Amino acid sequence: MLQTLIDAWHALLDIPNIGLYLTLGWAAYLIGLGGWIVLQKREPVATLSWLFGLALLPYVGFIVYHYLGPQRIQRHRIRRARSKAARLAASDTQDVIERELSQLGLATSGLPPSTARDVRMLVDGGAKYVALLDDIAAAHTSIDMEYYIFLADRTGTAVRDALIERARAGVRVRLLVDAVGSGKTPRRFFAPLADAGGEVAWFHPMRFGRIWRRPWLNLRTHRKIVVIDGRIAYTGGINVTDEEDERLRPDAYRDLHLRLDGDIARSLQVVFVEDWAYATGQSPVLPPPPEPQPPGTFAVQVVSSGPDSNWEAIHRLHVTAIHLAQRRVWLTTPYFVPGEAAMMALTSAALAGLDVRLLVPKRSDSVVVTYAARSYFDDLLAAGVRVYEYGPRLLHSKTLLIDEHLAVIGSANFDHRSFRLNFEVSLLFHDARVAGELERTIELDLAHSPRVRDDRARPLWRVRLPEALARLVSPLL
């Protein structure tokens, strides 16, 4: 076999002007692929990174970019629930920051401000799974569930079996899982749920014979959404896996989730229904609303983003909120790979004298991301940002705390992938009670997080060079 390949290569080299043909082919490939990339109109740094990287991969680069490069997709929207042309009416109870951020969320996501009657902050998976299983058991009409990771372990089996019991009782159960995040879970694991009358769908699965079709690999639903009876909702950062249950594993992720009761569940259901319709090919139709109840006292708004929109809604929300801050900016994220706008917002706030704190894990589950995040520390420290690394477990919560009344909690990391490639969802709270509880949660984590010092040891080969290399590829992460 090897000799055959060698003979074929020698025969190829014997073709007259083969070098010229290869050069012309490479040039045509580079011009064609380069033009395709340039027309995407992305950030110049990311565009140049792709151009230089793929120029070194003749022909193979086309396949790489086809499956992993930036992509835009079109999806049907529930137009009655989303109205991007609308503007919010001014309210005497809203301050300037609240009005501006609410209008930004409406314009970019199409989802208006809403309310919740009750908000429970669930720290770590143990608290989340107990509450979720209780609410599933009490469901009467419908359960809509969407997760990035849903594994066939003890936690996943417990949730699946709870759904099976409700499906057998006549409750409409719909489960949407991401094909990449839940790739380790065999399809047969969900067969008992389907047999009980539940519906199961996979987001962007790879289908045999259709591997050429875009997209299937790089665009993922990173959302965690549960809506029960159109009234109770869950969202945040915790997936369905033993890896996020501290009762089962001492190294379980440190994470945060929310349980909400009220009208806000309807907005999360809009996001789920559109994802479900896109994944299944069905028409996006909202089920009838639950019986009207008095509005809640918690002001909250759903902000969703994904590659089906050019606005990068959650990215804009973070950057705008940081710019509007007057006293403090506290950010927690497991993946910190900011773009220029986000980095400028954080450093500007610190230079202006605000209390700016960044909490990240000491070690992420990706070595490259860990080094990439640390490559930004010097600039942050020089501007006055206080950086902390959480050490006991892997910090996985994604939160932003602004002043005393504004909090953003959701599924989105502070990185390029979450802002541009993933389908994400966040909740924007204008409420001092939620902000105060988030402050106390972050303070507990800060107590276990050594502060990063600007005089820390940074040897060239073990620290500075790996950080620089990781920073170089950070636009592609």
Residue positions annotated with a catalytic role: 222, 224, 229, 396, 398, 403
Region for residue 281 given its phi and psi (left: phi exceeds 0; alpha: psi -120 to 50; beta: otherwise): left
What's the rounded Cα separation, in Å, for the pair 80 and 68?
34
Do residues 131 and 259 touch, judged by C-beta distance below 8 A?
A: yes
Q: How far is CA 246 from CA 49, 129, 147, 250, in A?
A: 40, 11, 19, 6
According to DSSP, the residues that pair with 402 across neighbouring strands are 329, 406
Do residues 424 and 411 touch, judged by C-beta distance below 8 A?
A: yes
What's the rounded Cα separation, in Å, for the pair 133 and 40?
44
What's the rounded Cα separation, in Å, for the pair 333 and 387?
12
What's the rounded Cα separation, in Å, for the pair 84 and 67?
30
Q: Which residue has the tokens 């109109």?
A: 41
What's the rounded Cα separation, in Å, for the pair 269 and 111?
11
227 phi, psi to nearest 5 deg: -130, 125
DSSP state of 118: E
Calculate ∠ Cα 374-376-380, nearest 5°. 115
What's the rounded Cα separation, in Å, for the pair 384 and 396?
24
